[in-house]
Amino acid sequence: MKKKKKEQINTKLPVYDLEGKVVDNVQLNEDLFDGRVNKVLLYEAKKMYEANMRKGTASTKTRAEVSGGGAKPWRQKGTGRARVGSSRNPIWRHGGVVFGPKPRDYSYSMPKKAVRGALLSGLNARLREDAIKAVVKLEVKEPKTKEFVSIVDNLKLQGKILVIVEAMTDQIKRSSRNLKKVSLKESCNINARDVLLNETLVIEKGALVKLAERLK
């Protein structure tokens, strides 16, 4: 099988301050961020994360569990009607359910290398789209929504936004929680599904360094 060629992408990201001005640059590891995207791996990882989120609490009753139906509705022979042993059989109204769902665990896991590869593919996909913005550090004066909205406006962010911080602070959490299109996560907790479901990634410089170390 032929190996996919590397796609030329810009691995030198500008770092913005909270007013939208470029104040620094950060060089990404070219061996990791090479532009390669494994779509199959991304699909498999997304499917796994969503399966792991399922509660699996759906439940139906079989004919043995439905109340009633203890007496035989009519005698076996001589009535001219079909024989029946219980009014709770599946073809009767109020009867049991055949092959209905029962509580079960849908979760499963993928190899660590596959999980890492999926996250890396997601980040490479966003890099190819120029959809990753690095910022110095996210800070707000007060834990108010308008403070975070001003940051979003200054950075000219659009669509669904994933904000990745080095360490979660109460002020940032409270100022962003009312924004439907903004989700906030620490760099140690993001996965391929988070990257796929958001159109733009905003990441603190320190969080980007930690994330690169995690992906080595």
Instruction: Identify the domain boundary among 105, 127, 145.
Output: 105
The per-residue pLDDT for range 98-149, each reduced to its tens digit, is: 999 999 999 999 999 999 999 999 999 999 999 999 999 999 889 999 999 9
User: Can you give the pLDDT at residue 3?
Assistant: 53
Report the 10 Å Cβ neighbour count for 110. 16
Q: For 59-77, what is the mean pLDDT?
A: 93
Of all residues in the chain, what percent carry a pLDDT higher than 70? 96
| 3-state secondary structure labels for all residues of 32-53 | CCCCCCCHHHHHHHHHHHHHHH
139 in the same domain as 66: no
158 in the same domain as 100: no
User: Can you give the pLDDT at residue 1?
Assistant: 45
Closest CA to 206 of 160, 167, 155, 161: 167
73 in the same domain as 22: no
User: Can you give the pLDDT at residue 5?
Assistant: 55
Q: For 163-169, what is the mean pLDDT?
A: 93
Question: Which residue segment(s) compose the domain that 78 sits in?
Answer: 55-105
User: Can you give the pLDDT at residue 60?
Assistant: 96
95 in the same domain as 171: no
Would the pTM of this model clear 0.85, i.e. be above it? no
Query: Sign (positive/negative) of CA torsion 18, 20, 25, 29?
Result: positive
40 in the same domain as 74: no
Q: For 74-96, what is the mean pLDDT?
A: 94
The per-residue pLDDT for range 168-202, each reduced to its tens digit, is: 999 999 999 999 999 999 999 999 999 999 999 99
The per-residue pLDDT for range 15-47, each reduced to its tens digit, is: 999 999 999 999 998 888 988 999 999 999 999
Q: What is the CATH number of the domain that holds 36?
A: 3.40.1370.10
Report the 10 Å Cβ neighbour count for 117. 20
Chain centroid, CA 31 distance in Å: 26
User: Can you give the pLDDT at residue 51?
Assistant: 97
User: Can you give the pLDDT at residue 9?
Assistant: 76
Q: Is residue 186 part of a domain?
A: yes
95 in the same domain as 117: no
